[in-house]
Amino acid sequence: MTTAYHTAIAAGAAGNAATFNAPLGQLDAAISAISGVYAPAGSGTGESVVTVGEDALGVVRQTTLTLAISGASDIDLADGADHGAGVKVYTFPAGRILVLGATINGVTTIAGASGGGTTVDLAVGTVTAGDDTTLTSTEANIIPSTATANGASTWKAALAASAQFDGTSAAVPLFVNAGVADAVSASAVTVAITGTLTLTWCNLGDY
């Protein structure tokens, strides 16, 4: 039996509860950490607007970001023009990153877009949104741009195909992005998002 996760019981130690319970407690803590309670070596870094769960099986990793983009941390889009903005949620470790898949299962609360059925575009990308209405290219290369209704709604979308991202010179970040057209913003627009962003990925190595 390995002693990597507990203090070995010394030869001749008393055969009582205290002798056994301390190393058993260490083992319990190590076992509890296996299912994403801790970050395995080689994990990325989450921002303050998310809670990060990390799981790994060999070289394949799954990162679950529980989003709390709301209140002082929501996405704000000013009135008076087309606007876009984003919030950083995660940074992969250095290396060439193969994203096998990504899904968003979000709950959104959007205020300030005019009229029933008016939408704000949402996406996840490796750069923050430019200050315009459209989310394209690297602004939406993890989760594609999705029109999301004003008021309370849901955001459900997925990466269509696996993709590689070069984080060998600078680690690859992730941003949740929003964009709104001036014509549909009655006032400054606020976008709050909760739910989960799930990423399944591999680090192909650094150089």
Domains of the chain: 1-35 (no CATH), 45-203 (2.60.120)
Burial 33-46 (b: 16+ CB within 10 A, else e): eeeeeebeeebbeb
**Which pLDDT value is given to residue 80?**
86
Instruction: In whole angstroms, give the CA distance from residue 207 to residue 194.
Output: 36
1: confidence class by pLDDT, cuts 50, 70, 90? very low
What secondary structure letter does DSSP report for 58?
T
From residue 67, alpha-carbon distances to 49, 75, 83, 92 in Å are: 6, 13, 22, 17
pLDDT of 156 higher than 70: yes
Residue 14 DSSP SS3: coil
Tokens for 98?
């193969």
What digits encode the pLDDT tens for the residues 78-117? 988 999 999 999 999 999 999 999 999 999 999 998 765 6
Length of the chain as a residue count? 207
pLDDT of 74 higher than 60: yes
Question: Residue 63's Cα: distance from chain center in Å?
Answer: 7
Q: Which residue's structure tokens are 């058993």? A: 24
**Which pLDDT value is given to residue 115?**
60
Q: Where are the beta strands (DSSP E) in the chain?
A: 45-46, 50-57, 60-69, 75-77, 83-91, 95-113, 119-125, 143-149, 151-158, 163-167, 173-180, 185-203
Residue type, 27: L
**Which pLDDT value is given to residue 114?**
77
Tokens for 96?
């060439």
What digits encode the pLDDT tens for the residues 160-203? 999 999 999 999 999 999 999 988 888 899 999 999 999 999 99
Of residues 183 and 38, more confidence is placed in 183
Q: How many CB atoms lie within 10 A of CB 26?
A: 14
Q: How many CB atoms lie within 10 A of CB 112?
A: 20
What digits encode the pLDDT tens for the residues 42-71? 889 999 999 999 999 999 999 999 999 999
Instruction: In whole angstroms, give the CA distance from residue 107 to residue 122.
Output: 12
pLDDT of 12 higher than 60: yes
Instruction: In whole angstroms, give the CA distance from residue 142 to residue 145.
Output: 9
157: confidence class by pLDDT, cuts 50, 70, 90? very high
Q: Which residue's structure tokens are 């200050």? A: 131
